[in-house]
Amino acid sequence: MAEILPIKAWRYNPNYISQIEQLTAPLFDVVSLKQRQLLYENPLNSIHLSVPKGPDPAESAKELLNKWKQEQVICQDEIPGIYVYYQYFRLPGEHEERCRKGFIAQIKAYDWSEKIILRHENTIVHAVNDRIDLLKATEIQASPTHGLYEDSENQLDEYMDEAISNPLYELEDYQGVREVLGVIQNPEIIQKFLAVMQDKQVILADGHHRLEGAIAYRKMCQGQFPESKWKGFEYHMMYLTNTSGNHLKILPTHRLFSGLNLGQSEFLELLKEWFEVKKFHDQEELGAYAFHKPWSYGLVIGDESYLLQLKSEKFSAIDSHFPEVIKKLDLAVLHEVVFEKILGIPLEQQRHSEQINYERNFSRCIHEVQQGKASFAIITRELEMKQVLEVCRSGHVMPQKSTYFYPKALGGLLFASINQKEFEFDYGAFFK
């Protein structure tokens, strides 16, 4: 099923290895404004390629990329490799270190209808268009998306463990995660990776907008380079991790709403038609509350906070747009009841709405509400991995920004070019 290839990667010049912590960049939507500003202050940080700024961001990134190539800020490997990527981390309150094992490779940008890469959530239209423009201009990918595959036998672990014992990079990222990158360039071992993946479906954990942009770009380029067996525009850089015996953690993504045209008491009365609404003692403590029951949430509004629990009789009364597998999810109920039925924003419009924003950091939710930048915040609980797998296999999708797989893959550890001249290689050596 899933066709992968090793990457003939571009990487920062070895002269910059000692600075690699300052050159990598987290995904744009997981860091604060102040963290982003600090990244942009470094003229060599990879954020200038992954999320460029300026009146014409895509063109700015193209010019900078060409400059970096000419000045050998980044250099291309002569032969392709599978890049082994381990992330060592602890969750709050834990003492034992976890390790998420995986590898970075190129995978065909399969259309969703091919059911080889399975998505689980909706996208936001303008974010996809930005990714397409950037890919057209630069023909390079600065950060991998994250895909999951199932291999209960852990067939690739011994090769990955060996590669990671002699790392190219070892650094600590913005959240204290220890990031280690190694490489495999032995064709016989790479063959084993390609063979294991060839009968797998891949579940997209993170990067729906970037992959959707790559799919659109692949369709735009159809018919180009007919003489080439392997065409760069068909591929996409992905970090692949095994769902079996691996440390996969999904954190919640909260909802912020701005521009509420109802008074606080009026809004609460409307909520009470659907939810049991209980006042909570302390906003700051709400982030640590354990939401054991389905369809339960926290609400931060003004200087107050509340616990919301959908009334049991109301679930059957929801005239849902969603199929049953989606309808029972917390976030589907939230979007259906609060944003559509109470606030009057149809589900399709929610994907475009500037009133709904998404925030992973609980403290920032509190800050945005207290500062008046948001009218209220809905605090959500995390999804379980089995729920994500169930949705993916159903062929349906959850509301946008439903999952936050932790930790996120870093950008800037390597760059994957889909420019045909730079991509060209006899990849047949890696197939049996």
Of the pLDDT bands very low, low, confident and very high (cuts 50, 70, 90), residue 19 is very high
How far apart are the C-alpha atoms of 110 and 235, rounded to whole Å? 9
How far apart are the C-alpha atoms of 54 and 35, rounded to whole Å? 18
Name the amino acid, one letter, at 287.
G
Q: Is the pLDDT of residue 202 over 70?
A: yes
Q: Is the pLDDT of residue 394 over 80?
A: no
What is the pLDDT at residue 278? 94
Of the pLDDT bands very low, low, confident and very high (cuts 50, 70, 90), residue 397 is low
Q: Is the pLDDT of residue 310 over 90?
A: yes
Average pLDDT, the chain: 89
Cβ atoms within 10 Å, residue 132: 19
Looking at per-residue confidence, does 31 or 23 come out higher?
Answer: 23
Of the pLDDT bands very low, low, confident and very high (cuts 50, 70, 90), residue 173 is confident
137 in Cβ contact with 59 (< 8 Å): yes
Cα 311–316–322 angle (5° rounding)? 110
48-73 confidence digits (pLDDT tens): 999 998 899 999 999 999 999 999 99
Q: Where in the chain is the domain with CATH 3.30.1760?
A: 253-381
Highest mean pLDDT among 49-53, 128-132, 193-197: 193-197
Q: Is the pLDDT of residue 305 over 90?
A: yes
**Assigned CATH for 253-381:** 3.30.1760
Token pair 């200038």: residue: 48
Q: Is the pLDDT of residue 372 over 90?
A: yes
380 in Cβ contact with 308 (< 8 Å): no
Q: Is the pLDDT of residue 154 over 80?
A: yes
Q: Is the pLDDT of residue 260 over 80?
A: yes
Average pLDDT over residues 92-102: 84
Average pLDDT over residues 122-135: 78
How far apart are the C-alpha atoms of 175 and 173, rounded to whole Å? 6
Average pLDDT over residues 82-107: 90
How far apart are the C-alpha atoms of 232 and 65, rounded to whole Å? 17
pTM: 0.79
How far apart are the C-alpha atoms of 164 and 161, rounded to whole Å? 5
What is the pLDDT at residue 381? 84
Looking at per-residue confidence, does 181 or 395 come out higher?
Answer: 181
What is the pLDDT at residue 126? 65
Q: Of the given ranges (63-67, 116-120, 308-312, 391-395), which has the lowest mean pLDDT?
A: 391-395
Token pair 């912590």: residue: 21
